[in-house]
Amino acid sequence: MRAVLMRLAGAVPTIFGVVVVTFLLTRVLPGDTATYFAGPAATAESIAQIKASLGLDQPLPVQFWRYLVALGHGDLGMSLTTGQPVLKELVTRLPASAELTLCGLFLAIGIALPLGVLAAVRQGSIIDHACRIISTAGVSLPVFFTGLLLVYVFYFVLGWAPAPLGRLDTFATPPRPLTGAFLIDSLAIGDFETFRATASQLALPAITLALFALAPIARITRASMLAVLGSEFIRTARASGLSGPKVVVTYALRNALLPVVTVLGMVFSFLLGANVLVEKVFAWPGIGSFAVEALIASDFAPVQGFVLTMAILYVLLNLGIDLLNRAIDPRARRAA
Amino acid sequence: MKRRTLIKTAAAAAALATPAVRRTAAQAPTRNETLIVVQEYGPNSMDMQGIGAAQPVNGVSLNCYDTLIRFKRIPFAEGIMTHDLKAYDPALATEWQVASDGMSCTFKLRKDAVFHSKRPVTAKDVKWSMDRAVTIGGFATTQMAAGSLEKPEQFVVVDDNTFRIDFVRRDKLTMPDLAVTIPMIYDSELAIANSNGDPLAKEFLKNNVAGSGAYKVESWKPGSETIYVRNDDWKCGPLPQLKRVITRDIPSPSTRRALIERGDADMSYGLPPKDFKDLAEGGKVRVAAVPVPNAIWYVAMNTVNPPFNDVRLRQAVAWAMPYEKIFNAALFGRGVPMWGGPETVQGTKWPFPFKYKTDMEKAKALASAATGGTTVNTTLIFDAGSATIAEPMAVLVQEALGQIGIKLEISKIPGANFRGELNKKTAPMVINRFGGWLDWPDYFFFWNYHGKNSIFNVSSYQNKEMDALIDGARFTTDETVYDTDVKGFLQMGMDQVPMVSICQPFHDVAMQKYMSGYTYWPCREPDFRFLVKGA
């Protein structure tokens, strides 16, 4: 417990650094928010008016101080592109992104882990080659391409998948918000129809993400399994006459999991921010596309809010992974 | 064992992807009374007068608010209506009369009209709304000023049901300016009651509709969905057929196309021209193509700084432009060609085809006369937001001008910086599109060619003679003077070519064949009030 608190305290300077850097970066960018939002037919006076109302006419230190004070009150500012408070946007959008990313990640783990293990156990076999082909294809196909391809085949041609209209069909009503993740919320109130509708909307984007996340997980599982399978204690276990599955699952896999978990953390945080293109193709109201839209419009507040959220998420994620590693590997416990 | 889990996982994945249950809505409006529109992005506010309101907010104004008068709807093509800028239908005003001296107009308000709050619409609300439009600043105030609606003193409450506008000058744009999406009438009592001390209730109206229009906003999730429901108490027109309208924001154009082709959407807005061309030729859905009045795609050149301060070089560019190629490869034919016309201006219609066509010999002669045969290095910029059309166009222009000794460097400017770049007034060459709501040539020329040098005068064109002609045409009441002035500045614009006109774009909307009653308005947003969804 103390270790956790220490780690969290250690993250404070990092997050402050992120706040400073994003603030400066958004100000250094060449875009002119006021001119953009003054709209067509803007006169110099109306641009100046908007500048003043946004506080952009103040010197940078003043702007920064105001930003910090607002931040202290939990106010992340207003998004000009959607006209809503940034905090509200992030709170509604983060669960959408997280739900999609987690589904994609679990799907990827479900396929990549067994695939990597089998590829390592049967090195040089058909499965090993299949693993190589799938992971190469997974990384080399851009997500928007796989996304569009899946939409074309499963929605447009075959008609199996529902219309890519976002998180729910137009005629379905979202479940009462509890966690913000529709799958969990609908199950919580026992609404299986909404659960099904949500799952079917999720299927294609989650598969798209999974295809992309598959490669690093499968590759790292295979490599790490190979290293462990070649070590002395496995030979000893085999020599002692332990059964094949027992050796592979209990002894080899557990020891091989450490790097896999670390990679999983990275893949997750990467997917969460980088699935912008999947969000665009499937009209998913996530945070990635929100941040990119804001950046294009030089809308500072959402960009700052997004980076800050990601930084906090990253800190928490790293903490979680460390804790998980400790659970898996007794040595990690001692080292800390 | 493991293999089995693998198979199970795969089976579960497949099960997720199997057909979704098509839900039949249990609520009252059936699928047939519900319209599904897909668009790139939705409104960022509910208040069209507010600062920073994006293009789709016009749709909120159109459907949820009423104006005093509406433009008259006139048929355009099968299932498509457009409007007449010079004839009006009653909306909140049932009759109106311009005074004999032509310096004011009195409006009689509809007696039975009520706001969504059930409160009757009064002249006080009209005055509050007009005052707000001319004082709020930003686009709303600029648009009002375009019709010589400038200050609150012009708006007079005569009695509860009578309202008068005093004109500051005779301006033919005053009446049409009252029918656009800016001077809509707010429920002033509701707005003030929720204003938290702000006399214009900006924050409240940004997030809430306080109007009398045909639709109410049932739910608004910025960036993903807006749902409208019919206001059964609407008095300013026949009760709309559509009870419920769902507009979804679908950022990817490929997805929007797939949705309309599969029949999951009734209307699809804002596809790339290539997709509209395919859809129009495919014949499965109807593409409502209306040439955007008063709008052109153009290539502008900075007339103040070298190299294009030399009119011969500008003309050389106009003769070198690969018009056909641009029209086919960048616009996919979705527009009206604006090149290859006669030498002299024929009428007062704008836009009209300029006299230039691709003629490399003429272009080379003019270019070498201007440059003495040396190579000119310069830059061409365009807005990254319109890259679908502007990018291939830029490449074609670059290739063509290379042949007459002008070496172009292409620079794609992100949306937020583009206006800033235009405001600097230094870009040597710009590809852009301009459209004015009010379809008069003098209106277009005022913004794009006048010495007042607005942001849209991209070429910074300065010419006293031109200014005099534009100003003359704007405020004259004499038909013949108007004719001569307009012909004068059109000819001058063509000869001096600060901007080379390429084509008048279509406003394309894809819709299912069972849709009818589509109306094209200056703001270009969909109007649900007259749309009918057939079987």
On whether any CB of chain A is under 8 Å from the CB of B402, the answer is: no
Q: Does A106 touch chain B (CB under 8 A)?
A: no
Condensed to tens digits (0 to 9), the pLDDT of residues B161-207 reads: 999 999 999 889 999 999 999 999 999 999 999 998 899 999 899 99
pLDDT category of residue A117 using cuts at 50, 70 and 90: confident
Which residue in chain A has the smallest CA separation from B434? A40
Cβ(B432)–Cβ(B404) below 8 Å:
no
Query: What number is the average pLDDT over the span B496-514?
Result: 94
Interface membership of B225 toward A (CB under 8 Å)? yes
Is pLDDT larger for residue B369 or for residue A243?
A: B369
How far is B340 from chain A, CA to nearest CA, in Å?
30
Cα B102 from Cα B220, distance rounded (Å): 43
Q: How high is the pLDDT of residue A41?
A: 59
Interface contact B28, partner A, CB < 8 A = no
In order, the DSSP letters of B374-437 are: PPEEEEEEEEGGGHHHHHHHHHHHHHHHHTTTEEEEEEEE-HHHHHHHHHHT--SEEEEEEE-S
The one-letter code for the residue type at A70 is A
B227 near A CB under 8 A: no
The CATH superfamily holding the domain A93-160+204-335 is MetI-like (1.10.3720.10)
The whole-number pLDDT of residue A274 equals 63
Mean of per-residue pLDDT scores for chain B: 89
Domain ranges for chain B, please list them: 31-266+512-533, 295-506
Q: Which amino acid is at B312?
A: R
Does residue A194 belong to the interface with chain B, where contact is any CB pair within 8 Å?
Answer: no
Res A20 pLDDT > 70: yes
Model confidence band, residue B429 (pLDDT cutoffs 50, 70, 90): very high
Q: List chain B residues with CB under 8 Å of A113.
A: none
Mean pLDDT of chain A: 82
**Per-state percent for chain A, helix, strand, coil, to nearest 5:** 75, 0, 25
Assigned CATH for B31-266+512-533: 3.40.190.10
Q: What is the pLDDT of residues A279-303, one digit of tens each?
A: 888 888 888 888 888 877 778 888 8
- B 125-144 residues with CB below 8 A of A? 137-139, 141-143
Decide if pLDDT at B517 tops 80. Answer: yes
List Cα–Cα distances, A297 to A28, A30, B53, B232, in angstroms: 14, 11, 13, 38
Contact residues, chain B, for A245 at CB < 8 Å: 1-2
What's the pLDDT score for residue B492?
Answer: 94
**8 Å CB contact of A50 and B415:** no
Task: Please tell me if residue A63 touches chain B, with a CB cutoff of 8 Å.
Answer: no
- For residue A52, is pLDDT > 90? no
Tell me the per-residue pLDDT of B279-289, one tens digit each, with 9 for 90 and over.
Answer: 999 989 999 99
- Per CATH, the homologous superfamily of domain B295-506 is Dipeptide-binding Protein; Domain 3 (3.10.105.10)
Kindly report the nearest CA distance between residue B140 and chain A, in angstroms: 10
Tell me the CA distances in angstroms from B161 to B121, B122, B320, one per residue in order.
Answer: 8, 6, 60
State pLDDT tens for residues B458-501: 999 999 999 999 999 988 888 999 999 999 999 999 999 999 99
**Predicted local distance difference test score (pLDDT) of residue B1:** 40
Please, where in chain A does CATH 1.10.3720.10 lie? 93-160+204-335
Nearest to A281 among B223, B252, B385 (CB): B252
Which residue of chain A has the CA closest to B24? A171
The complex scores an ipTM of 0.78
Which carries the bigger pLDDT value, residue A38 or residue B95? B95
Smallest CA-to-CA distance from B397 within B386, B384, B411, B418 is with B411
**Residues A132-145 pLDDT 10s:** 888 888 888 888 88
- To the nearest whole Å, the CA of A335 is away from the closest chain B CA by 34
Q: What is the pLDDT of residue A39?
A: 65
- Chain A interface includes B325 (CB < 8 A): no
Q: What is the mean predicted confidence (pLDDT) over A4-33? A: 80
Is some CB atom of chain A closer than 8 A to the CB atom of B36? Answer: yes
Q: Residue B258: pLDDT above 60?
A: yes
Q: What does the pLDDT look like over B22-37, one tens digit per residue? A: 344 344 577 788 999 9
Q: pLDDT tens, B138-168?
A: 788 888 988 999 999 999 999 999 999 999 9
A46 touches chain B (CB under 8 A): yes
Q: Is B255 on the interface with A (CB under 8 A)?
A: yes
CB A107 to CB B5 under 8 A? no
pLDDT of residue B22: 39
Write out pLDDT tens, residues B97-116.
Answer: 999 998 999 999 999 999 99
Give the pLDDT band (50/70/90) at residue B295: very high
Question: How distant is the Cα of A37 from the closest Cα of chain B, in angstroms?
Answer: 5
